[in-house]
């Protein structure tokens, strides 16, 4: 059976290539970038109407605008508190020293003094990078988005945890939100809520709410059922069981959900700047525009510090040791006294930060930003001068050998050939139901008029994913089999996951020029950490007995990897590929900023040119459709393989 | 364990509450500072990302601040996003708009008001790397471009010459120019200023072929001497009929505009005067922009120009 499947696949691909050659250049649906179809023009007109109606139509006056006003006000309130000069004043309500004191106190109170010390160090480092106000803006925005997300996500998550029907309703939305590249939905949101903090907060929430729903419902569902049943049998009402049994038991997991929600919100900090949000995204984006690598990295470091700060202070609370030895009276007293002292210190620091200018506004003299900027700029210049020849050679090699042939195959074949092949592949790999879905979605892209551009983006995504998987599986095997490698790689992977892709888009531009390949490499760098982590976990999950048996039978290392560990981890690797593909797709589209063209460029140009607005919005939708097609196929094939 | 937790959180709440209350009532530096004197309101200037814009906006901001206005500067994408922000009342001034009337929809609704030219003239064109203009003198005539198309081939241009278009928000007609002039080139949308800077700089340094979109005022012209010599001239230059001008023509020169919000338009204070009178030359802007590019902060570069040009500043203030 498996053999026949692979024959079928090969036959399919051969037929596809042959048809592509014969019908080369026919019905490719290519459009000039500045050409609109009737459909894109229609959507563009509607979008313009929407802009015009914002002050008049009832939906705006009574629904969207109040939401915007509320969220704007909420964010502004937090910003006034810590980030920007409050009304009629030159300093925020709480100056930098006060913020440091409060953060130290809060972290100390919820976890331990070591974490608090780390938090303070990271905050001061952000200040020393010259990014104090940007950091505070980002914290304000993140805080607002997280609080609002949790106030929606946790109740919904609990509900979905208790009711199968609710879970069934929200599940597709959760899946969708996970696939959706962030670049895609900022434009429609900005259309409705306009540029600014409100739009950025809402976009962040769309990204982070699904995570809190997912983890909360998971927490409720995976509880040990016996205490719940016991409570029910003793006649507790549903509400009582929830409040007295289920929630306390699920608390740890829910806090973990909060941690993940916070991390999702932090990772949105840079993208948020594209729709006018204040914060660390601004220097990152402006560094891209004027091509100042050093400045971009300084801001990028601040983002990473902020992410570590948020992660450690929330995850420490989630992983707090549950001790079975009750604390002695002395312990309690000691903790309470130290808390009182810390609290007093925090109050003093807030007070000082309101009375002394040096404690209110971060002193400009204390900065290491110029040095770091210079070091990164020099390092980049050196790399560019010395490695450019190699990187360009490598780029050309990949371009001529893989990228161009694939692009010709996908974009220069008639659309019906490619759609047919996608459907055929889906039938073979994932089954008929998925194939029907793939057909419907692919046809939607065709009808939208953006098929050709979609094929360009698809080419880049496929090449990026292939390269990602080659590197990712190799590193994953290495870290999965070797504890020391895991230890070395872990911090690098963590940093790679939090460093915004925009930060290294510019150095990549230097290495590979304004080309598709720059976008692909950026996508690869962005997705490798996730792939490595999943593959490594998959390898580690292979039962020891299997490996030991193979070793005892005299297998070499290579045999163990290829015959035992990889096959046993096949499902995980398929999932990793899926995850990698979605990540590459999400970043390849920002390659529109550096000459990669495709759907991503249409999204970007649609944001800034009214006449292409419709096309940009539809391009966003097409990216999403592409993502869903591949996600569904991969998920179904992973399910089948188990 | 549970009791400890609640008691601890009680302490936390009390602590935070105390800090907040304290911050509400303590005497603060706020009271003594701020409250600038002068007959001027508070306004927000849109900050677009290119250095030339920063130069103009910063000079206006510094003059306004020195005359008692409260100015906030907000980084925003050019075009519709900023017009929307003006409609929403969060932005009051665009000091340099290249849109060529793209604000019409907003203007019709009275949300964005044209406040005249700012004295800068925008020139857009297609440029080859200057070393090419020297080596192949006839390349700067668009009729000869096809002769050299092979030179411009890259891995990304599908067997044709690579033609790099401007950043997303900019006015570009490359596709039409290529089509109408039957050029054997493939249009690649560079997507950002960074991509173009990268392209021109490397091409000139490594003597590789490059044709791309460029505009003035732009600081790249200071960094690559003779970039002007690479300007490729296209036939005719009649922009009066937009339909006829589609493609065969070159880009027109664009007087850059000042756009103001309804609030700023209706106000009558120092800032309105400054904005109405503001006008300076491409050279003025290039000077300030070059200082910023050279590592000066925008504030310092603007102040340097203001100190050196008291007469112009006086004229803006209507004195």
pLDDT, tens digit, 9 for 90 and up, residues A316-328:
766 665 555 667 7
For chains A and B, what is the number of CB pairs under 8 angstroms? 231
Query: Side-chain half-sphere of A358: how many Cα atoms within 13 Å?
Result: 2
Q: What pLDDT, on a 0 to 100 scale, did the predictor assign at position B3?
A: 42
Report the C-alpha gap between A297 and B137 in whole angstroms: 41
Tens of pLDDT along A173-200?
888 887 888 888 888 888 888 878 899 9
User: How large a percentage of chain B has pLDDT more than 70?
Assistant: 83
Per-residue pLDDT band for B63 (boundaries 50, 70, 90) equals very high
Q: What pLDDT sits at residue A257?
A: 86
Give the per-residue pLDDT at B1.
Answer: 38
Q: In this structure, what are the phi and psi dihedrals at residue A133, rounded to the nearest 5 degrees? A: -70, -40
Torsion-angle region of A381 (φ positive above 0: left; ψ -120 to 50: alpha; else: beta): alpha
Tell me the pLDDT band of A495, cut-offs 50, 70 and 90.
confident
Beta bridge partners of B163: B187, B211
Question: How many helices and strands, by DSSP H and E, does chain B display?
Answer: 14, 9
Instruction: Identify whether residues B126 and B171 lie together within a single domain.
Output: yes
Q: In whole angstroms, what is the distance from residue B106 CA to residue B108 CA?
A: 5
Q: Which residue has the higher pLDDT, B162 or A45?
A: B162
Q: Is the peptide bond before B217 cis (omega within 30 degrees of 0)?
A: yes
**Banded model confidence at residue B239, pLDDT cuts 50, 70, 90:** low
* Interchain contact, A275 vs B81, CB within 8 Å: yes
> Which range has the worst mean pLDDT, A23-37, B158-172, B233-247, B282-296?
B233-247
Neighbouring C-beta atoms of residue A230, cutoff 10 Å: 12
Average pLDDT over every residue of A22-51: 85
Q: Could you tell me if B115 and B87 lie in one domain?
A: yes
Domain assignment of residue B223, yes or no: yes
- Which string of b and e fits A105-128 if b means at least 16 CB within 10 Å? bbbbbbbeeebbebbbebbbbbbb
- pLDDT at site A563: 87
Of A91, A105, A513, the CB nearest to B30: A91
Residues B155 and B103 in one domain: no
pLDDT tens digits, A198-256:
999 999 999 899 989 988 998 888 888 888 888 888 888 888 888 888 888 888 888 88
Burial of residue B88, with CB atoms counted within 10 A of its CB: 0-12 exposed, 13-18 middle, 19 or more buried: buried
The SS3 call for residue A102 is helix
Q: Copy the structure tokens of residue B221.
A: 């012209």
**Cβ separation of A514 and B190 shorter than 8 Å?**
yes
**How many of the other CB atoms lie within 10 Å of CB of A48?**
17
Q: Are A453 and A597 in contact (CB under 8 A)?
A: yes
Q: Which carries the bigger pLDDT value, residue B12 or residue A213?
A: A213
Q: Which CATH number fits domain A1-22+35-52+387-642: 3.30.70.120, 1.10.3720.10, 3.30.1330.10, 3.20.20.70?
A: 1.10.3720.10
pLDDT at position A628, please?
92
Residue B52 and residue B137 in one domain:
no
What is the phi-psi region of residue A6: left when phi exceeds 0, alpha when psi lies from -120 to 50, beta otherwise? alpha
Angstrom distance (rounded) from CA A22 to CA A28 = 13
Tell me whether residues B34 and A339 touch, CB distance under 8 A: no
Question: Interface pTM (ipTM) of the complex?
Answer: 0.77
Residue range B268-273: mean pLDDT, rounded: 91
Comparing CA positions, the residue from A282, A301, A276 lying closest to residue A201 is: A276
Which ranges constitute the DSSP H helices of A322-403? 329-355, 357-360, 369-398
**Cβ-based burial of A328 (10 A; exposed 0-12, middle 13-18, buried ≥19):** exposed
Q: Is residue B130 part of a domain?
A: yes
What is the Cα–Cα distance from B160 to B163, expressed in whole angstroms?
A: 9
* A148 or A87, which is more confident: A148
pLDDT over threshold 60, residue A524: yes
B111 shares its domain with B136: no
Please indicate whether, in this complex, the C-beta atoms of B195 and A613 are within 8 angstroms of each other: no
B181 and B210, same domain (yes or no): yes
Q: Taking CB atoms and an 8 Å cutoff, what residues of chain B touch A410?
A: none
* pLDDT for the residue numbered B30: 39
Query: Going by C-beta distance under 8 Å and a sequence separation of 6 or more, which residues neighbour residue B216?
Result: B122, B123, B282
In three state form, how does the secondary structure of A604-620 look? Answer: HHHHHCHHHHHHHHHHH
Compute the distance between CA of residue A317 and CA of residue A109 in angstroms, rounded to an integer.
Answer: 10
Torsion of CA B67, B69, B75, B78, to 10 degrees: -80
- Identify from A513, A522, A591 which residue to disrupt to test chain B contact, counting B C-beta atoms within 10 A and taking the largest count: A513
Residues of B in contact with A195 (CB under 8 A): 76-77, 81-82, 84-85
A521, A508 Cβ separation under 8 angstroms? yes
Cβ B16–A106 below 8 Å, yes or no?
A: yes
Euclidean distance between CA atoms A505 and A509, whole angstroms: 6
Tokens of A72: 């704007």
In whole angstroms, what is the distance from residue A454 CA to residue A419 CA? 12
pLDDT confidence bin for B12, thresholds 50/70/90: low
Confidence of residue B305 (pLDDT cuts 50, 70, 90): very high
d(CA A561, CA A569): 10
Q: How high is the pLDDT of residue B24?
A: 47
Answer yes or no: do A327 and B26 touch at CB < 8 A.
no
Residue B32 lies in a domain: no
Query: Looking at the structure, do residues B48 and B191 belong to the same domain, yes or no?
Result: no
pLDDT per residue as tens digits for the range B174-205:
888 888 888 999 999 988 888 888 889 889 98
In Å, how far is B171's CA from the nearest CA of chain A?
Answer: 9
User: Which residue, chain included where needed, has tokens 């999400």?
Assistant: A586
B170, A568 Cβ separation under 8 angstroms: no
Q: How far apart are CA A216 and CA A348, in angstroms?
A: 38
Contact status, residue A568 vs residue A624, Cβ threshold 8 Å: no
Measure CB to CB from residue B194 to each of A86, A343, A506 and give the nearest one: A506
Name the A residues in 228-267 with CB < 8 Å from any B CB: none
Cβ distance of B7 and A88 shorter than 8 Å: no
| Rg over CA atoms, chain B | 25
* B176/A608 Cβ within 8 A: no
Q: Is B199's CB within 8 Å of A285's CB?
A: no
Cβ contacts of B11 on chain A, cutoff 8 Å: 109, 336, 339-340, 343
Q: Rounded to an integer, what distance in angstroms lies between the CA atom of residue A46 and that of residue A350? A: 50
CA–CA separation, A121 and A309 (whole Å): 9
Number of domains making up chain B = 2
Nearest CA in chain B to A611: B102
pLDDT band at B244 (very low <50, low <70, confident <90, very high): low
pLDDT, residue A322, reads 56
Residues on chain B touching A355 (C-beta within 8 angstroms): 26-29
Considering the domain architecture, whether residues B104 and B203 belong to the same structural domain is answered as no
Q: Determine contact: A30 vs chain B, CB below 8 A.
A: no
Residue B243 counted as domain residue: no
Question: Does residue B244 fall inside a structural domain?
Answer: no
CATH code for position B86 = 3.40.190.10
**Is the pLDDT higher at B76 or at A432?**
A432
B169 within domain boundaries = yes
Helical H segments across chain B, by residue range: 2-25, 29-32, 51-66, 80-88, 104-108, 130-135, 174-180, 193-206, 220-223, 262-266, 270-277, 282-293, 298-308, 310-316
Position B9 confidence tier, pLDDT thresholds 50, 70, 90: low
Q: Say if the Cβ atoms of B189 and A275 lie within 8 Å.
A: no
- CB atoms < 10 A from the CB of A324, how many? 5
Residue B48 in domain: yes
What is the rounded distance in angstroms from the CA atom of residue A83 to the CA atom of residue B72?
14
Measured CA to CA, the distance from residue B38 to residue B68 in angstroms comes to 5
| A623/A109 Cα distance (integer angstroms) | 45
pLDDT > 90: percent of chain A: 30
Look at B187 and A336 and tell me if their CB atoms are within 8 Å: no
Provide the angle, in degrees to the nearest 10, between the axes of the packed helices A197-221 and A247-266. Answer: 150
Residue in A closest to B5 by C-alpha: A110
Cβ neighbors of B278 (< 8 A, separation 6 or more) are B56, B60, B95, B118, B119, B258, B316
Q: Which of residues 328-357 of A touch B (CB under 8 A)?
A: 332, 335-336, 339-340, 342-343, 346-347, 350-351, 354-357
- Whether residue A93 lies within 8 A of chain B, CB to CB, comes out as yes
> Using one digit for the tens of pLDDT, what is the confidence trace for B127-159?
999 999 999 999 999 889 999 999 999 988 888
Considering the domain architecture, whether residues B117 and B137 belong to the same structural domain is answered as: no
Mention every residue, 6+ apart, whose C-beta is less than 8 A from residue A221.
A161
- With CA atoms as reference, the chain B residue closest to A399 would be B155
The answer, yes or no, to whether residue B100 has pLDDT greater than 70, is no
* A517: confidence class by pLDDT, cuts 50, 70, 90: very high
Question: Quick one: B151 and B168 in the same domain?
Answer: yes
Give the model's pLDDT for residue B144: 92
Band (pLDDT 50/70/90 cuts) for residue B301 is: very high
Same domain, B101 and B133: no
Domain that holds residue B139: 122-232
Our CA-based measurement puts residue A21 at a distance from the nearest CA of chain B, in whole angstroms, of 16
Q: How many CB atoms lie within 10 A of CB A62?
A: 9
Find all residues with CB under 8 Å of B210, minimum gap 6, and list them: B128, B129, B132, B152, B164, B199, B200, B202, B203, B204
What pLDDT sits at residue B34? 36
Q: Tell me: do B128 and B213 sit in the same domain.
A: yes
CB A386 within 8 A of CB A511: no
Looking at residue B18, what is its pLDDT? 53
Q: How far is CA B175 from CA A402, A602, B184, in A?
A: 27, 15, 12
In sequence order, what are the residues at sequence separation of 6 or more whose Cβ sits closer than 8 angstroms to the Cβ of residue B234? B126, B142, B177, B181, B248, B249, B250
The single residue listed with the structure tokens 């997507």 is B191
């Amino acid at each position: 059976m498996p053999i026949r499947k692979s024959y079928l696949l090969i036959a399919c691909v051969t037929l596809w290539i042959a048809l592509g050659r014969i019908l080369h250049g026919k019905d490719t649906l290519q459009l000039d970038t500045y050409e609109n179809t009737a459909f894109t023009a229609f959507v563009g007109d509607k979008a313009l109407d929407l802009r015009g109606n914002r002050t008049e139509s009832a939906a705006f006056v009574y629904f969207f605008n109040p939401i915007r006003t509320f969220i704007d006000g909420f964010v502004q309130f937090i910003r006034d508190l810590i980030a920007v000069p409050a009304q009629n004043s030159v300093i925020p309500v709480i100056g930098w020293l006060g913020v440091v004191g409060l953060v130290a106190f809060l972290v100390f109170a919820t976890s331990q003094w070591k974490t608090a010390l780390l938090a303070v160090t990271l905050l001061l480092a952000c200040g020393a990078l010259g990014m104090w106000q940007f950091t505070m803006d980002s914290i304000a925005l993140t805080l607002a988005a997280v609080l609002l997300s949790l106030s929606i996500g946790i109740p919904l998550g609990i509900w979905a945890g208790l009711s199968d029907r609710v879970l069934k309703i929200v599940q597709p939305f959760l899946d969708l939100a996970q696939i959706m590249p962030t670049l895609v939905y900022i434009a429609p949101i900005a259309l409705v809520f306009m540029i600014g903090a409100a739009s950025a907060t809402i976009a962040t929430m769309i990204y982070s709410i699904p995570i809190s729903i997912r983890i909360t419902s998971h927490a409720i569902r995976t509880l040990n059922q016996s205490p719940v049943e016991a409570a029910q049998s003793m006649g507790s009402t549903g509400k009582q069981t929830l409040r007295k049994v289920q929630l306390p038991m699920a608390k740890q997991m829910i806090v973990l959900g909060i941690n993940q929600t916070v991390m999702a919100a932090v990772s949105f900090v840079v993208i948020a700047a594209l729709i006018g949000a204040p914060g660390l995204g601004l220097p990152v984006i402006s560094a891209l525009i004027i091509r100042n690598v050093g400045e971009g990295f300084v801001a990028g470091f601040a983002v990473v510090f902020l992410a570590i700060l948020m992660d450690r202070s929330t995850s420490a609370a989630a992983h707090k040791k549950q001790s079975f030895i009750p604390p002695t009276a002395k312990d309690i007293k000691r903790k309470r006294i130290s808390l009182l002292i810390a609290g007093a210190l925090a109050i003093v620091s807030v007070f000082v930060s309101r009375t002394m200018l040096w404690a209110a506004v971060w002193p400009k003299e204390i900065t290491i930003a110029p040095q770091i900027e210079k070091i990164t700029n020099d390092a980049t210049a050196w790399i560019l001068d010395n490695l450019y020849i190699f990187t360009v050679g490598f780029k050309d090699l990949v371009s001529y050998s893989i990228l161009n042939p694939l692009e010709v195959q996908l974009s220069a074949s008639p659309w019906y050939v490619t759609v047919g092949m996608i459907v055929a592949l889906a039938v073979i790999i994932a089954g008929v139901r998925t194939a029907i879905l793939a057909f419907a979605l692919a046809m939607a892209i065709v009808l939208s008029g953006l098929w050709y551009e979609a094929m360009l983006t698809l080419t880049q995504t496929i090449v990026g994913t292939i390269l990602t998987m080659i590197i990712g599986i190799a590193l994953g095997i290495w870290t999965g089999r070797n504890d020391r490698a895991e230890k070395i790689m872990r911090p690098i992977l963590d940093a790679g996951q939090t460093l915004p892709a925009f930060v290294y888009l510019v150095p990549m531009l230097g290495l590979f020029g304004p080309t598709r390949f720059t976008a692909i490499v950026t996508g690869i760098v962005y997705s490798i950490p996730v792939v490595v982590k999943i593959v490594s976990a998959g390898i580690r999950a292979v039962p020891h007995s299997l490996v030991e048996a193979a070793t005892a039978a005299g297998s070499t290392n290579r045999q163990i990897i290829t015959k035992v560990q990889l096959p046993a981890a096949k499902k995980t690797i398929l999932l990793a590929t899926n995850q990698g593909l979605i990540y590459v797709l999400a970043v390849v589209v920002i390659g529109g900023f550096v000459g990669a063209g495709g759907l991503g460029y249409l999204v970007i140009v649609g944001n800034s040119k009214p006449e292409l607005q419709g096309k940009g919005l539809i391009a966003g939708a097409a990216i999403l459709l592409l993502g869903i097609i591949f996600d569904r196929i991969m998920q179904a094939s992973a399910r089948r393989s188990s | 364990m549970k009791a400890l937790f609640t008691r601890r959180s009680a302490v936390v709440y009390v602590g935070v509450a105390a800090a907040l209350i304290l911050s509400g009532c303590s005497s603060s530096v706020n009271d003594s500072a701020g409250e600038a004197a002068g007959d001027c309101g508070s306004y927000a200037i849109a900050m677009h990302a290119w250095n030339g814009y920063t130069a103009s906006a910063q000079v206006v901001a510094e003059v306004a601040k020195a005359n008692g206005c409260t100015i906030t500067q907000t980084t925003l994408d050019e075009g519709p996003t900023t017009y929307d922000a003006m409609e929403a009342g969060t932005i009051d001034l665009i000091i340099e708009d290249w849109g060529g009337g793209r604000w019409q929809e907003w203007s019709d609704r009275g949300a964005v008001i044209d406040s005249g030219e700012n004295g800068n003239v925008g020139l857009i064109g297609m440029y080859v790397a200057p070393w090419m203009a020297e080596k192949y003198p006839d390349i700067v005539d668009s009729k000869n471009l096809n002769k050299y198309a092979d030179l411009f081939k890259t891995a990304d241009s599908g067997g044709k010459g690579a033609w790099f278009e401007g950043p997303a928000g900019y006015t570009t007609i490359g596709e039409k120019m290529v089509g109408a002039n039957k050029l054997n080139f493939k249009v690649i949308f560079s997507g950002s200023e960074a991509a173009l800077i990268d392209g021109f700089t490397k091409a000139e340094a490594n003597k590789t072929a490059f044709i791309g979109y460029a505009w003035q005022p732009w600081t790249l012209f200071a960094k690559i001497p003779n970039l002007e010599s690479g300007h490729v001239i296209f036939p005719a230059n009649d922009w009066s009929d937009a339909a006829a001008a589609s493609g065969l023509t070159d880009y027109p020169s664009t007087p850059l505009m000042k756009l103001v919000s309804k609030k700023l338009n209706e106000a009558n204070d120092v800032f309105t005067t400054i904005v109405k009178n503001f006008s300076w030359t491409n050279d003025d802007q290039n000077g300030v922009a070059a200082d910023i590019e050279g590592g000066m902060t925008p504030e310092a570069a603007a102040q340097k120009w203001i100190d050196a040009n008291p007469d112009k500043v006086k004229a803006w203030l209507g004195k």
